[in-house]
Chains A and B, each alone.
Chain A
Amino acid sequence: MTNIGAMLKSLQDPMGVPFYPLVFQVLLVITFALHIIFVNLVVGGVFMSVYGYFKKGGHYRPLAKSFAKATTINFSLLIVLGVAPLLFMQVIYDPFWYTSNVLSAAWMVGVVFALMAAFSFVYVFYLKITKERKHIGVWGVAAFLLIILVGVTMHAVSYQALFPEQWVRWYVGGSTADFSGTILHAFQLPRFLHFMVASFAITGIFMMVYSWYFKDRDDMDRSYLVWVGKAGAKMAVVFTVLQMAVGVWWLLSVPANFQFYKNPVFIAAGILAVVLLLVLIEAQSNPQRYALPTAGLALISVLGMTSAREALRVLYAGRYDYSVYSYKLNLSYGSTVLFAVTFLMGIVIVGYMLTVVFKMGRSSKPIDLSSLKLRTWSVYLMIAWVLMMIGIGVAIAS
């Protein structure tokens, strides 16, 4: 009989982690929340653009076009925001993540190609729908199905990671061994649906924000914007209710001895969801006015949800006395400071660029933004970063 706790311990990286595990855990939760919001927006966005395309009449066509365009950008952000949680996951949960990945290796490599195909199809759909081409629904539908397939794989690999007691059996099953990694071993429907249903609630809120953002543009159709806001608010409220129902289903399917319903993180997340629902109900009458507070609250709710998910992972891992907090430490202050400095610099530059895009999008005519102070600062900061690295490099060499 294998001692699971010892196995997990032995799989941890012998070099330990370069900073306190709590920091990686917090970063994991925050960056995963950001990633999953864009996953939601891509799932919902592809669906809405295809739905709008087939629906044809009324305001659906322009909505489909807007979603097709937005989805190309959201897809890029989904990918880049996925990099960070993938990284932090491997720092503190390496035994779980790596083993589960190898067990379904072919699927994980397949995910990359499925994503390439899906993203290409999204682009084809976008370029064709703006040119009013016919018979293009197939690109959108194919993209949607591929994205769902990727979702299924990512869910299964994350989920089977939680069951180290099954790994050896899945891998070598008695006397035979399957080294091909072509099987997904575990799947939990309510957990998967909790990501999928949320997509439509988040996309509804995105529509409210869209309606608010463009309301002052003189080249936009007022009645269209009002319609988008109302449709979005309605969609958000319906799917938030559904999401809560799925949440209860999920809660009932986690091991009873966790007593997860008593977990403070879970309770906080639940309260946030209820508050979000109440605000959404209130927002129905005037979605544009409530767009920003709703979006802010939704962001916090998603954070609550991902925190609860992490709390659950802590419980699963704890069954075998695995705690990220007892990971061997090999402190590296230098590299930690490097990241902190880079991160702060990033906030300034990203802030500058978002200001540009915000102001540009609000204006129907070309706009002069050359007087923004952050413009030159952004460039100077990056040059300073390079100089800093040269300085460190010279110090190391000498």
Chain B
Amino acid sequence: MYPVWQVPVMGSALVIAFIASFHILPSHLATSAFWFNVYVEDKAYKEDRPELLEFIKKYVLVILIFSFIFGSLSGVGIWYAVTVSNPKGISALIHNYVWGWASEWVFFIIEILAIYIYYYTLGRVDDRTHLTIGLIYAIGSWISMVIITGIISFMLSPGKWLRTGGFFDGFFNPTYLPQLLMRTSFMFAIAGLYAIVVAGTLKNREVASFIVRRASVWGMAGAVLAALFFKLYLWSLPDTAKELYGMSVLVGTVPDIAVAAFIALFVWFIVVWIRPQLARLVPGVLAILILLAGIFSAESVRERIRKPYVIDHYMYSNQIIPNDMVAKGVQGEMGTIDREGILHYSYFVPEGLRTIDDADLLRSGRIIAQIECSACHTLESNGWLRPLPAMMEKAGLVTVDDTQAFIGFLDSFPFMPQFAGTAAEKRALAAYLVSIRPHPAGAPAGRATIGKIHR
């Protein structure tokens, strides 16, 4: 086991979530914008309307700055955040998909050269060459989506891979195609949304109307298709994920936010299609923020319905591999940890706390919580991410005995992993959890237990 990074109050998972959700805006813009761009540029040459190039120049600068500063760096940011929050999870992905990522990297290089050359050669090379560079960018950046979707969907539904361990078996998994189609459709809606914002800043209002009209059609078409493919995606989910999707305790109202954001965007496309002059900067940016809220919710649902795994049926969110994975010669860790204890299994534990004794019960318990729980739960009562003190209260757990019994059948909740460790460790964790629980007035049993432990 690697050491654990613990972010107070916020939780390391939310660090990933914020960076990752933000990343979707510039990255989907980067993959989609050039299809629209090349379409407009082609029109400019064919219909001899050089004034359209004003839009092109502005639109590309937005992509250049937004996608190639904040987009590429937030992409690296996801990787760093995942590395320090869940090293074993990213390690598993990399040791399966290193060549996939390396191939994606080739397309990153193609993209980056293409966009700079496109930007700096506008008007300096012939039209056909310039359009070709634009097309290379458009195809290349979409291919980077083709690749990364394989890896993201693999985490949710590894499919045949669990049996074979094959690269392509995991890549072309049950939810791959629906996700790819959904993202591809949706990226056109995002491209339309940005184009409308950029058009809102153009001085030539006639050009602006022209762009807004077409961009809103792209937006509507992309949105409708994305909605259809979303249905396909839900249908393709593994049964366990479908079950979790139906559980309001886990998913709550989050999908509703996504749906509301989606409808708002669709209305926005219709409005500017009817009245392009309404497409100004401020409402345009507002629409993008609504989009962000929608994306955050949709991605969050995907993370939730994968629980308790980070890679479905292979590795728990707390980085423990429960079962053997025969095809790759991986041994499940549960047996060893139950026998030796998690505090012995992990190297990164203070020497004095490895063996549970009464004096250090709570401190040992806290380390166990940090290793096994903190990936999804903050330990502080004011924590943002399913804080453990509140969970204890919700479950009505007051005594150490009850809590220990509860931990014993934790995995009867479909979204919770099995506890891994010895009976003594289970008791230490239970004692710690009871100690951080908000103390209810008139609960003598709980108090007495806590008092005993503190002594």
A342 to B76, CA, bound (A): 22
* Residues on the B chain within 8 Å of A84, using CB: 102, 105
Stretch of A41-49, A196-204, A346-354 that contacts chain B: A346-354
Stretch at the interface among A281-289, A307-315, A333-341: A333-341
Proximity bits, A311-325, B CB within 8 Å = 1, else 0: 000000000000000
Q: How far is the CB of B153 from chain A (nearest CB, A)?
A: 12
Q: Are B95 and A13 in contact (CB under 8 A)?
A: yes
Q: Is the CB of B94 within 8 A of A90?
A: yes
Minimum distance in angstroms from A146 CB to a CB of chain B: 12
Residue B123 CB within 8 A of the other chain: yes
CB pair B80 A108 closer than 8 Å? yes
A249 CB–B CB distance under 8 Å:
no
Q: Do B19 and A368 touch (CB < 8 A)?
A: no
Identify the interface centre among B84, B85, B112: most chain A CB within 10 Å of its CB: B84
Across the two chains, which residue of chain A brings its CB closest to B167? A335
Contact residues in A for B7 (Cβ distance below 8 Å): 180
User: Which segment, of A56-64, A132-140, A210-218, A370-378, faces chain B?
Assistant: A370-378
A77 at interface (Cβ–Cβ under 8 A)? yes
- How many A-B pairs with Cβ below 8 Å? 269
Q: Which of A15, A102, A379 contacts B96 (CB 8 A)?
A: A15
Q: Are A382 and B172 in contact (CB under 8 A)?
A: no
Q: A16-B328, A109-B81, A393-B172 are in contact. Are A172 and B96 (CB under 8 A)?
A: no
Which of A177, A360, A376 has most B Cβ within 10 Å?
Answer: A177
B87: CB under 8 A from chain A?
Answer: yes
Asked whether any CB of chain A lies closer than 8 Å to the CB of B72, the reply is: yes
Q: Does B124 have its Cβ within 8 Å of any Cβ on chain A? A: yes
Partner pick for A386 among B81, B95, B143, B328, CB 8 A cutoff? B143
Q: Contact: A112 with B76, CB < 8 Å?
A: yes
Q: List the A side residues contacting B114 at CB < 8 Å.
A: 353
Complex Cα distance, B66 from A123, in Å, reads 11
Cross-chain contact B113 with A370 (CB below 8 angstroms):
no
Q: Roughly how many angstroms separate A185 CA and B96 CA in the complex, as a whole number?
A: 31
A109 touches B80 (CB 8 A): yes
Is B230 an interface residue when CB atoms closer than 8 A count as contact? Answer: no
**Cα-based distance from A375 to B353 in the complex (angstroms):** 65
B440 at the interface (CB under 8 A from A): no
Closest partner residue, chain A, to B101 (CB atom)? A87
B225 within 8 A of A: no
- Asked if residues B129 and A330 are in contact (CB atoms below 8 Å), the reply is no
B390 part of interface (Cβ distance < 8 Å): no
A128, CB-defined interface residue at 8 Å: no
Q: Is A22 positioned at the interface, with any CB of B under 8 Å from its CB? A: no
Contacts of A176 in B (CB 8 A): 350
| Interface segment out of the listed A91-99, A235-243, A255-263 | A91-99
Residues of A with C-beta under 8 A to B198: none
What is the minimal beta-carbon distance from B246 to any residue of chain A, in angstroms?
A: 27
B-side contacts of A386, CB under 8 Å? 139, 143, 146
Quick check: is B99 within 8 A (CB to CB) of the other chain? yes
Residue from A77, A343, A370 within 8 A of B129 (CB atoms): A370
Q: Count of A residues near B, CB < 8 Å? A: 94
The interface on chain B, measured as residues whose beta carbon lies within 8 A of the other chain's beta carbons, has a size of: 92
Contact B8 A180 (CB under 8 A): yes
For A73, what are the chain B residues with a Cβ–Cβ distance below 8 Å? 116
Contact of A332 among B85, B99, B109, B146 (CB under 8 A): B99
The CA of A81 and the CA of B103, in the complex, are separated in Å by 13
- Asked if A350 and B110 make an inter-chain contact with CB atoms under 8 angstroms apart, the answer reads yes
Residue of A whose beta carbon sits closest to that of B123? A366
Return A128 CB to nearest CB of chain B, in Å: 14
Asked if B129 contacts A375 (CB within 8 A), the reply is yes
Asked whether A99 and B3 contact (CB < 8 A) given A334-B166, A392-B168, the answer is yes
- Do residues B79 and A360 form an inter-chain contact, with CB atoms below 8 A? no
Say whether, besides A349-B110, A360-B121, A335 and B73 are in contact (CB < 8 Å): no
Residues of A within 8 A of B91 (CB): 13, 90, 94, 98
Task: Point out the residue from B74, B80, B129, B176 that lies within 8 Å of A356, measured CB to CB.
Answer: B129
Q: Which of B130-138, B247-255, B281-289 makes up part of the contact surface?
A: B130-138
Q: Which residues of B contact A334 (CB under 8 A)?
A: 166-168
Residue pair B125, A177 in contact (C-beta under 8 Å): no
A271 shortest CB reach to chain B, Å: 31
Task: Give A31's nearest chain B residue, CB to CB.
Answer: B105
The yes or no answer to B409 lying at the interface (CB within 8 A) is no
Q: Are B132 and A379 in contact (CB under 8 A)?
A: yes
Q: How far is the CA of A105 from the CA of B82 in the complex (A)?
A: 10
Closest to B68 in A: A76
Cross-chain contact of A17 among B95, B125, B349 (Cβ < 8 A): B95
- 26 A-B pairs, CB-CB below 8 angstroms? A15-B96, A15-B328, A73-B116, A83-B108, A84-B102, A86-B79, A94-B94, A101-B80, A112-B81, A116-B69, A120-B69, A171-B3, A175-B353, A179-B370, A335-B98, A343-B102, A345-B106, A350-B113, A357-B113, A357-B120, A368-B126, A370-B126, A370-B128, A393-B172, A396-B171, A396-B172
Q: Which residues of A contact B (CB under 8 A)?
A: 2, 7, 10-11, 13-19, 24, 27, 73, 76-77, 79-84, 86-88, 90-91, 94, 98-99, 101-103, 105-106, 108-109, 111-113, 115-116, 119-120, 123, 167-168, 171-172, 174-177, 179-181, 328, 330, 332, 334-336, 338-339, 342-343, 345-346, 349-350, 353-354, 356-357, 360, 366-370, 372, 375-376, 378-379, 382-383, 385-386, 389, 392-393, 396-397
5 new A-B pairs (CB below 8 Å) besides A80-B108, A171-B3, A339-B99? A13-B91, A87-B102, A94-B91, A180-B6, A338-B103
Q: Which 9 A-B pairs have the closest CB atoms?
A: A105-B84, A98-B87, A112-B77, A346-B106, A335-B99, A105-B5, A179-B6, A335-B167, A342-B103
